[in-house]
Chain A
Amino acid sequence: MAKLNINGQVRDVQVEADTPLLWVIREQVGLTGTKYGCGVAQCGACSVHLNGQVVRSCILPVGSVKATDKIVTIEGLSANRSHPVQKAWAALDVPQCGYCQSGQIMAAAALLARKPRPTDRDIDDAMTNICRCGTYQRIRAAVHQAAGKQA
């Protein structure tokens, strides 16, 4: 049994403590926007925010998450896709297959929260998620565009 605060809602989940947070989010909580890609924290498809920091939830045991920790998934990032990152992603038609984009968007949102005006180098360092369709050029442009539109 664990208590999790996900997207502002406290949830009780019945699950083994060593279950990765990713699978608790997907299978117990039922939020499937957070994706499984590798299970070894390489690809970042499972990226969520934990107390404002981007983390790779596929290797984070749920037992290590406290009831007071605030978890935000892609579903909780904004209402109606209104986050500047989501708007920029739409404006530049970033996604191709889209499977990695939840993680990319969460990584970009965390970067902008920390660095409202990131340089290319900041983007290189922060955006390490894998996109197999190769949307990187548009991701970079969209992060800059989102930065420009942030209040």
Chain B
Amino acid sequence: MKDTKTSAAGPSLSRRSFIVGTTAAAGGLALGVRVPFGSGSAQAQGSTGAEVGAWVVVKPDDTCVIRIARSEMGQGTLTGLAQLVAEELECDWSKVSTESITPGQNLARKRVWGEMSTGGSRGIRTSQDYVRRGGAAARIMLLQAAAEEWKVPVAEVGVAGGVITHAGSGRKTTYGKVAEAASRLTPPDPKSIALKDPKDWKIAGKPMKRLDTADKLDGSKVYAIDLKLPGMLHAAIKASPVFGGKLTSYDEAKIAGRPGVRGVVKVNDSTVAVVADTWWRAKSALEALPIVWNEGPDAAQSSATIAGHLEAGLAAKDAYAFRKDGDAIGAIQGAAKKIEAVYSTPFLAHATMEPMNCTVKLSADRAECWVPTQNSEASLAALSEQSGIPLAKCEVYRHDLGGGFGRRGGNQDYVRQAVNIAKHFPDVPVKMVWSREEDMGHDFYRPISQCKLAAGLDDKGALVGLHVRISGQSINAFVNPAMVANGEDARQLQGYTDKPGDAQLGYTVPNLLIEYAMRNTHVPVGPWRGVNTNQNAVYMECFLEEVARAAGADSLAFRRALMSKHPKHLAVLDAAAAKGDWGKPLPAGVHRGIAQFMGYGSYSAAVAEVSVSGEGKVKVHRMVLALDCGHAVNPDQIAAQVEGSVAYGLSAAFYGECTVQNGRMAELNFDRYQLLRLAEMPKVETVIVPTHDFWGGVGEPTISVVTPAVLNAVLAATGKPVRSLPLKNVKLV
């Protein structure tokens, strides 16, 4: 088995250099570059009215259209960003609407709207400063325009809810009336703008309703998979079931004459597509198409061979020592009591509800693409590179995503495929849609890993040493092997760093050794909601639970004793424990578990109430989750993300695994890859404990604590630790 991975599906150097190049150009907010919008945008084109700075368009009827650069995939970022802009703009929230900008527009205007990539729970935290300044700049320009019209000093002019007043003269106007004049003013230097103290927020920080709900209720929202364009053709696609396998041949004659079929396309050296007048006809014909694959040597791989490969990493002499505080091995050897365990977590698929899809139309000198993407700029780069058409003549129309969870970010595999298909049908839009089976069989899976842990307790039950050795696959090695050629991949140790700010371990252990043995496989891997905090929180928090029990200590008290130097972690743990009634009586048969972890700049903790039936069936009754994300932009949407993270986390805990048989994935649809359903959803209570002194993420942080809190409650119920996921494979009684 290979220890490093190169993949044709990975991003190429030219895409990376585009991203790096554009990032370098992203420096401050360039207000006042009033270049007319390009002709490509279906969404932005609809706005009439005056652009007051790059972020705000004000219409004559006082509607404020706020521009959104990041992707909306359910996580609520669109509404949160609009709240931040509107707060500084001082407009009437009931007159706010939004429009998405396109990557082509962003590029044409020297990235005036900054980064468009939406992942890593960064949508708000890495853009909040410049979008607030964008809103404030627009307010300043609008007030200046009114002051100039009235010939009064701007300092005498006030605004509330988009209504501008001059107290001295009693004059009054609205944003819509002065927008045209404001749009001609020179914008203020963003650095000169004083932003509001969040304590004074009236729109941000409040549980505003989402702005994007209505068309999700009547079927009128057009996801990319729903797109209809004149003359459009439809493509169904099949890639080699074995990762790394190649297409040998296919027998097109066998599907000749099938209704609606327009052609069979070799998409790349491992993929074939059928194009037809409808998708169902394309898919039916594809299923009837005889295909011969050269599956290659990796057809011999299985979950068992991969497990063996990882197991060897647990004992390997060489590993990357990520943290080495004191002498953990010596301390454990000399300890009064030793505890050891080996944990493992499987590959997981994202299973977004909307399968991968992309529509591409190629003309001689124009490339267009309609796509659900977490990174519109990466889609644009992939479109240009794959089509050979210069970036300036390419455009991407991002549709809101039917789920993202990390699947539709950097890897633009489906965009590249769709371009290759569209090349065969010039001037015709071709919509490629993956079947669920294709989606499940060709994901970038959550990486598989195993973890061996050892701890030592002194005679008073205090933790004196902890040794953590993770062996498993590296996402960075899949994306760019050169980046981690020496095996030193800190990303796989997410949540264990001693550095404050992003994903810091909340415990102080006198002797601590954390190691990583990179063991890559032929399976493509990528970020999956919460990424490596998921596995690493299970390893740390479930093992610490075992250690606490060995020490005869209460789970909460044992953790608290290690957390005095981590007050924010501790405060969140305490908040979860308090709201979760830690230590209070429970109904017979119900047990509690607790866990805490940090990721994406935010602190999370959970308490789970769980029962295990006589047949070993686990039921989660209630979960309390506490989150400190610094500033809380929309408490109700934060609660929605926390609730969602519980469902996503429990799906993985109970059922989630993608197993490898004969080099390919065995679970290809929801009959075998079960997901949590409503009946299994526990009551979720969200406690937001914002400290208002930093900007943390929201979409991902809390998922990490869901599984360990549940598994720790199962341990409390059964006395037996669960060390291997998912639960469906574990015999509890």
Check B402 against A98 for contact (C-beta < 8 Å). Answer: yes
State whether A37 and B353 are in contact (beta carbons under 8 Å apart), knowing that A19-B280, A28-B278 are contacts in the complex: yes
15 new A-B pairs (CB below 8 Å) besides A38-B436, A75-B219, A131-B353?
A35-B354, A38-B670, A81-B218, A93-B213, A95-B213, A95-B217, A96-B644, A97-B402, A98-B216, A130-B677, A131-B647, A134-B643, A134-B648, A134-B681, A135-B647
Q: How far is the CA of A123 from the CA of B677 in the complex (A)?
A: 11
Nearest 7 interchain pairs by C-beta: A33-B219, A134-B647, A97-B74, A98-B216, A99-B402, A96-B74, A134-B644
Tell me the residues in window 626-659 of chain B with beta carbons closer than 8 Å to chain A beta carbons.
636-637, 640, 643-648
Instruction: Verify B280–A123 contact, CB threshold 8 A.
Output: no
Query: Residue A127 at the B interface, CB < 8 A?
Result: yes
Q: Contact: A136 with B675, CB < 8 Å? A: no
Residue among B279, B353, B670, B678 making CB contact with A124, cutoff 8 Å: B678
- List of B residues within 8 angstroms of A102 by Cβ: 219
A100: interface (CB < 8 Å): yes
Q: For residue B671, which residues in chain A have a CB less than 8 angstroms away from its CB?
A: 40, 42
Residue of A32, A86, A124, A135 near B226 (CB, 8 A) is A32
A93 touches B640 (CB 8 A): yes
Please tell me if A57 contacts chain B, counting CB pairs below 8 Å: no
Q: Do the beta carbons of B354 and A134 come within 8 Å of each other?
A: no
Q: What separation, in Å, do the CA atoms of A93 and B645 have in the docked complex? A: 17
A31 CB–B CB distance under 8 Å: yes
Q: Which residue of A lies closest to B703 (CB)?
A: A134
Q: Interface code B327-363, partner A: CB below 8 Å = 1, 0 otherwise?
A: 0000000000000000000000001111100000000
A139: Cβ under 8 A from any B Cβ: yes
Q: Which residues B392-409 have CB closer than 8 A to chain A?
A: 400-405
In the complex, chain B residues whose CB is within 8 Å of the CB of A101: 216-217
**Cross-chain contact A136 with B647 (CB below 8 angstroms):** yes
Q: How far is the CA of A140 from the CA of B682 in the complex (A)?
A: 11
B353 touches A93 (CB 8 A): no
Report if B266 contacts A (CB, 8 A).
Answer: no
Given contacts A16-B259, A99-B353, A124-B679, contact A132 B403 (CB under 8 A): yes
Query: What is the total number of residues of chain B having a CB less than 8 Å from a CB of chain A?
Result: 61
* Residue from A93, A134, A138 within 8 A of B676 (CB atoms): A134
Establish whether residues A33 and B640, one from each chain, have CB atoms under 8 Å apart when the complex forms: no
Residue on A nearest B208 in the bound complex, by CB: A93
Taking CB atoms, residues of chain B closer than 8 Å to A19 are 280
Binding site for A on B (CB under 8 A): 73-76, 209-210, 212-214, 216-223, 225-226, 228, 234, 259, 278-281, 284, 351-355, 400-405, 433, 435-436, 636-637, 640, 643-648, 669-671, 675-679, 681, 683-684
Q: Contacts A23-B279, A137-B681: A130 and B219 contacting too (C-beta < 8 A)?
A: no
Contact call B219/A74, Cβ cutoff below 8 A: yes
B640 touches A35 (CB 8 A): no
A106 to B217 CA separation, bound complex (whole angstroms) = 10
A138 touches B217 (CB 8 A): no
Query: Which residues of chain A are within 8 angstroms of B678 by Cβ–Cβ distance?
Result: 123-124, 127-129, 131, 136, 139-140
Question: Is A132 in contact with B679, judged by CB distance below 8 angstroms?
Answer: no
> Can you name 12 A-B residue pairings with CB atoms under 8 Å?
A23-B278, A40-B671, A73-B219, A81-B217, A93-B637, A95-B213, A96-B644, A98-B216, A131-B353, A132-B648, A134-B643, A137-B643
Nearest CB of B to A20, in Å: 7
Bound CA–CA A74/B643 (angstroms):
26
The distance in angstroms between the C-alpha atoms of A27 and B220, with both chains bound, is 15
Is the pair B679, A96 in contact by a Cβ cutoff of 8 Å? no
Does A36 contact B217, Cβ atoms closer than 8 Å?
A: no
- By the criterion CB–CB under 8 Å, are A39 and B435 in contact? yes
- Which residues on A are within 8 Å of B, measured CB to CB? 16, 19-20, 23, 26-28, 30-40, 42-43, 45, 73-75, 77-78, 81, 86, 89-90, 93-102, 105, 123-125, 127-140
Contacts of A39 in B (CB 8 A): 435-436, 669
- Contact (A133, B218) CB under 8 Å given A39-B435, A93-B213, A96-B644: no
The chain B residue with its CB closest to the CB of A107 is B678
Nearest CB in chain B to that of A28: its residue: B278
Contact across chains for A137 and B683 when beta carbons are under 8 A apart: yes
Q: Are B643 and A27 in contact (CB under 8 A)?
A: no
B223 surroundings in chain A (CB, below 8 A): 35, 99
B602 CB → nearest A CB, Å: 18
For B436, the chain A residues whose CB sits under 8 A away are: 37-40
* Residue among B228, B280, B640 making CB contact with A135, cutoff 8 Å: B640
Q: Name the B residues within 8 Å of A95 (CB-CB).
A: 74, 210, 213, 216-217
Least Cβ–Cβ distance between A109 and chain B, in angstroms: 11
Report the separation of the CA atoms of residues A31 and B220 in the bound assembly, to the nearest whole angstrom: 9
Q: List the B residue with the shortest CB-CB distance to A124.
A: B679
Given A16-B259, A96-B75, A42:B643 Cβ within 8 A: no
Roughly how many angstroms separate A97 CA and B218 CA in the complex, as a whole number?
14
> Are B279 and A132 touching (Cβ within 8 A)?
no
Q: Which of B76, B226, B228, B678 lies at the interface centre, i.e. has the most chain A CB atoms within 10 A of its CB?
A: B678
Shortest beta-carbon distance from B234 to chain A in Å = 8
Listed residue (B223, B354, B404, B645) with the most chain A CB atoms within 10 angstroms of its CB: B354
How distant is the Cα of A133 from the Cα of B222 in the complex, in angstroms?
A: 18
CB within 8 Å for A90 and B213 given contacts A23-B280, A27-B278, A98-B221: yes
Does B403 contact A99, Cβ atoms closer than 8 Å?
A: yes
Query: What's the least CB distance linking B613 to chain A, in Å?
Result: 16
Identify which of A20, A28, A75 contacts B220 (C-beta below 8 A).
A75
When the two chains form their complex, are residues A75 and B670 in contact, meaning their CB atoms are under 8 A apart?
no
Q: How far is the CB of A76 from chain B (nearest CB, A)?
A: 9
In contact, B675 and A130 (Cβ under 8 angstroms): yes
A34 to B637, CA, bound (A): 26
Distance of A27 Cα from B221 Cα, bound (Å): 16
CA distance A96 to B402 in the complex (A): 9
Chain A: minimal CB distance from B303 (Å) = 23
Which of B225, B280, B402: most chain A Cβ within 10 A? B280
A93 touches B210 (CB 8 A): yes
Q: State the Cβ distance, B226 to closest chain A Cβ, in Å.
A: 4
On whether the beta carbons of B403 and A133 are closer than 8 Å, the reply is yes
- Smallest CB–CB gap between B211 and chain A, Å? 10
User: With a CB–CB cut-off of 8 A, which chain B residues contact A136?
Assistant: 643, 647, 676-678, 681
Known: A35-B353, A97-B403, A134-B646. A43 touches B221 (CB 8 A): no
Give Cα A71–Cα B720 distance, bound, in whole angstroms: 52
**CB pair B219 A98 closer than 8 Å:** no
Of chain B, the residue at the smallest CB distance from A126 is: B678
Q: Out of B74, B647, B677, B679, which one reaches A98, CB within 8 Å?
A: B74
Per the bound structure, the CA–CA distance linking A125 and B676 in Å amounts to: 14
Do A36 and B225 touch across chains, with their CB atoms under 8 A apart?
yes
Q: Are A132 and B670 in contact (CB under 8 A)?
A: no
**Chain A residues with Cβ under 8 A from B214's Cβ?**
81, 90
